[in-house]
Chains A and B, each alone.
Chain A
Amino acid sequence: MSTATEGLRPTPRVIALFSHGDRHYQPLDPVEIRYEVEGLDDEPPRAVEHSVLWFTEGKGEEDLGVHFFERLVAPERLPPTAPMGQFSCRLPRSPLSYEGVVVKIRWCVRVRFFFESGRDYVSEHEFTVGLLPPARPLMAMP
């Protein structure tokens, strides 16, 4: 439940930089992310979670597959002591990013901050894996 005081709290902003400027990767590529967080003001987080994951989008219920996950709780690795963060992993062979009609598969990086007050804030940054053409309802074979 949000309170009036929480409503006045500024929203943090995460600026993420990917090792590939176009945010396009191939399976088994290493992916490196550097990020900077702004707008935390005087509310330092008690934990930060980094994850690289795929999720489904479309008509069906959302499915999620976490490929990389780490949780940082050591104060020296959290803002404001460490205002910038970075993490990396090697992508798996699958699934590839897919723009289907009723099923879509997206890859993203999430940085989630947990604050002492109990609230959390998540910043999501999408990227693509592979290069598949988007699907159309009953597309004819070229």
Chain B
Amino acid sequence: MRFPRFFGKKRGHRRTGSQAWASLGDAAFHAALLIAGIVFAGLLLSGVAVPEWRINQHFLATDCTVLGKGLVRRTIVATDRSSSFTWQPCLRVRYEVAGRSTESWSTPSRSTTASDRTRAVAALSAWKLGDTVPGWYDPTAPATVVLERGYNWWMWLLTLLLPGALVSFGGMGLARAIRRWGRSQERCAVPSRFSDLLDPLAAGPRQAAEHPGVPACDDLVNSPGTVLAYRLPIESADNWTLLGFGLFTFLWNSVLAVLGVGAVIDLLRGKIDWLLLTLLVPFAAVGVASLVLFIRRGLLATAVGPTQLEISAQPLRPGGRYEVLLAQGGSGTLDSLRLALTLEEQATFTQGTDTRTERMTVWAHDIRTWVDLQLTPGARFEAREAFTLPAGAMHSFASEHNAVRWSIAVHGQPAGWPGFVRTFPLVIFPAEPAIDNAGLRREAFP
């Protein structure tokens, strides 16, 4: 007898593992999250939210006379069995409950808890014996009296956010697992009203109307061009790299600055922390290197100047002829500037615990290449070119983990600087099929 596999792996054309056990594991995981969320919510509601709400809504106002002062000591035992104490001021107060005088101890404020007894004693001096302070008592248990009320908004936010996230994530996952239980892969994949609600991430990219699997091109046609119909949005990895470098440089040097200021203060006080100083040297080296790289990349991005591309139509069709207008700003000399049409395949897969994406260019066509191009500040270089899409070209495709992407790439090689690539995405629809009067179907190419 073979024991079922609890997890699956993709092996070529087949997938190992048991679907039933995978569904059971998925359901158990999400059920555990849901239960944890409910328990957590119950604890926060009963321990924090409900008592606070009752104090504000149900407790009755009264005037309390301070009769005595004291400290509440709480013992905290650490894992190594050592103990420490916290101290909180408390007051003995007298107040009227339905015409009857009642006495009770009450802690005036949560914020006055201190680990230092002297500080707690000093805090007690804020109240004098015989003073009258406002208070609120519980009508169902008159011995319970509070001297401060209001809502702790952070606690309410925590009460809503943490258990809410666990309950919604676990609940959605459990509902999805129950919906899929015992159903075939095909039946689960049939779109329903609840598909997007239960599994929003599985919906994949937005698709063009009446063209399943073809990405929508709404975002590519909302910017009109100055000469041609549409101005294409830029999709450059360089911009994201620059942003990444900028964030890293900022965070790293912020930490370095905090540590550096601490070290300088220590030095001014005549104290030398050798460990901190030794650590600061490599930290500072990394900080300076990241700053240099960021400035270099920033200079490259700004020195080259912006690239704009306009196109005569969108979406495109196989066999169609289209015009593009390239505009390159900046100054200096470009050793080469190349305009190319490319088709790239993209596959996302899980390898161990990592999610990886592999990209491969499977087709490229140079529309035009310029060499020794002199850019003049204030007057951008413009060129209008045309290209024809092959009649047998694959259309754009995008699903949750796979994609076939068309784009026009501008490859530039500035003199004395590293080269750059700026990519402008295109959407290509399949050739429109046509039916003639005899009922025979032919491929129609524009």
A32 CB within 8 Å of chain B: no
A21 CB within 8 Å of chain B: no
What is the count of residue pairs linking A and B with beta-carbon distances less than 8 angstroms?
154
Verify B349–A59 contact, CB threshold 8 A: yes
A135 CB within 8 Å of chain B: yes
A76 CB within 8 Å of chain B: no
Verify A102–B345 contact, CB threshold 8 A: yes
8 Å CB interface, B395-446 against A: 395, 397, 399-404, 429-430, 432-433, 435, 441, 443
Verify A1–B189 contact, CB threshold 8 A: no
**Residues of A contacting B360 in the complex (Cβ-Cβ under 8 angstroms):** 101-102, 137
Kindly provide the distance from the CB of A26 to the nearest chain B CB, expressed in whole angstroms: 5
Per the CB 8 Å criterion, the residue count for chain B at the interface is 54
A27 CB within 8 Å of chain B: yes
Verify A133–B392 contact, CB threshold 8 A: yes
Q: Summarize A's interface: helix, strand, loop or mixed.
A: loop
**Residues of B contacting A69 in the complex (Cβ-Cβ under 8 angstroms):** 186-187, 190
Question: Given that A27-B430, A96-B395, A135-B362 are known contacts, is A61 also in contact with B187, CB under 8 Å in the complex?
Answer: no
**Residues of B contacting A73 in the complex (Cβ-Cβ under 8 angstroms):** none
Kindly provide the distance from the CB of A56 to the nearest chain B CB, expressed in whole angstroms: 4
How many chain A residues sit at the interface, stated as a range, is 35 or more
Question: Given that A26-B441, A65-B399 are known contacts, is A96 also in contact with B430, CB under 8 Å in the complex?
Answer: yes
Verify B211–A59 contact, CB threshold 8 A: no
B276 CB within 8 Å of chain A: no
Q: Could you say which of B1, B190, B204, B345 contacts A135, with CB atoms under 8 Å apart?
A: B345
Q: B361 — nearest CB in chain A belongs to which residue?
A: A138
Mark A20-64 against chain B: 1 for CB-CB distance below 8 A, else 0: 000000111100000000000000000001010110111111111
Q: Could you say which of A51, A56, A60, A139 contacts B363, with CB atoms under 8 Å apart?
A: A139
A131 CB within 8 Å of chain B: yes
Q: Could you say which of A67, A94, A102, A137 contacts B214, with CB atoms under 8 Å apart?
A: A94
Kindly provide the distance from the CB of A123 to the nearest chain B CB, expressed in whole angstroms: 12
Kindly provide the distance from the CB of A112 to the nearest chain B CB, expressed in whole angstroms: 5
Kindly provide the distance from the CB of B403 to the nearest chain A CB, expressed in whole angstroms: 7
Kindly provide the distance from the CB of B16 to the nearest chain A CB, expressed in whole angstroms: 13
**Residues of A contacting B401 in the complex (Cβ-Cβ under 8 angstroms):** 56, 60-63
Kindly provide the distance from the CB of B17 to the nearest chain A CB, expressed in whole angstroms: 13
Verify B187–A100 contact, CB threshold 8 A: no
Q: Could you say which of A2, A58, A120, A142 contacts B184, with CB atoms under 8 Å apart?
A: A120
Question: Given that A1-B4, A138-B364 are known contacts, is A56 also in contact with B433, CB under 8 Å in the complex?
Answer: no
Rounded to whole angstroms, the CA-CA distance of A60 and B358 in the bound complex is 8
B119 CB within 8 Å of chain A: no
Verify B404–A93 contact, CB threshold 8 A: no
Q: Could you say which of B4, B211, B345, B403 contacts A94, with CB atoms under 8 Å apart?
A: B211
Q: Could you say which of A2, A62, A67, A136 contacts B362, with CB atoms under 8 Å apart?
A: A136
> A102, A138, A139: which has the most chain B beta carbons within 10 Å?
A102
Rounded to whole angstroms, the CA-CA distance of A138 and B210 in the bound complex is 30
8 Å CB interface, B327-364 against A: 343, 345-350, 358, 360-364
B212 CB within 8 Å of chain A: yes
Verify B430–A53 contact, CB threshold 8 A: no
Verify A49–B187 contact, CB threshold 8 A: yes
**Residues of B contacting A120 in the complex (Cβ-Cβ under 8 angstroms):** 184
Verify A103–B397 contact, CB threshold 8 A: yes
Q: A110 — nearest CB in chain B belongs to which residue?
A: B186
A85 CB within 8 Å of chain B: no
B185 CB within 8 Å of chain A: yes
Q: A114 — nearest CB in chain B belongs to which residue?
A: B184
**Residues of B contacting A80 in the complex (Cβ-Cβ under 8 angstroms):** none
Mark B18-52 against chain A: 1 for CB-CB distance below 8 A, else 0: 10000000000000000000000000000000000
Binding site for B on A (CB under 8 A): 1-3, 26-29, 49, 51, 53-54, 56-67, 69, 71, 92-96, 98, 100-103, 105, 110, 112, 120, 122, 130-133, 135-139, 141-142
- Counting from the closest, the 8 A-B pairs by CB-CB distance are A60-B347, A95-B213, A63-B399, A141-B365, A61-B401, A51-B186, A135-B362, A59-B347
Interface contacts beyond A100-B404, A132-B392: sample of 13 additional A-B pairs, CB < 8 Å, sorted by A: A29-B441, A61-B350, A62-B401, A92-B212, A94-B212, A94-B395, A94-B429, A96-B394, A100-B345, A133-B392, A135-B362, A137-B360, A142-B390
Please name 28 pairs of A and B residues whose Cβ atoms are closer than 8 Å in the assembled complex, sorted by A.
A1-B1, A27-B433, A53-B189, A54-B212, A56-B399, A56-B401, A58-B347, A60-B347, A60-B401, A61-B10, A61-B348, A61-B350, A61-B401, A63-B400, A65-B212, A65-B213, A69-B187, A92-B211, A94-B430, A95-B212, A95-B397, A98-B397, A102-B347, A105-B397, A122-B184, A138-B362, A139-B363, A141-B363
Binding site for A on B (CB under 8 A): 1-4, 10, 13, 15, 18, 184-187, 189-191, 204, 210-214, 343, 345-350, 358, 360-365, 390, 392-395, 397, 399-404, 429-430, 432-433, 435, 441, 443
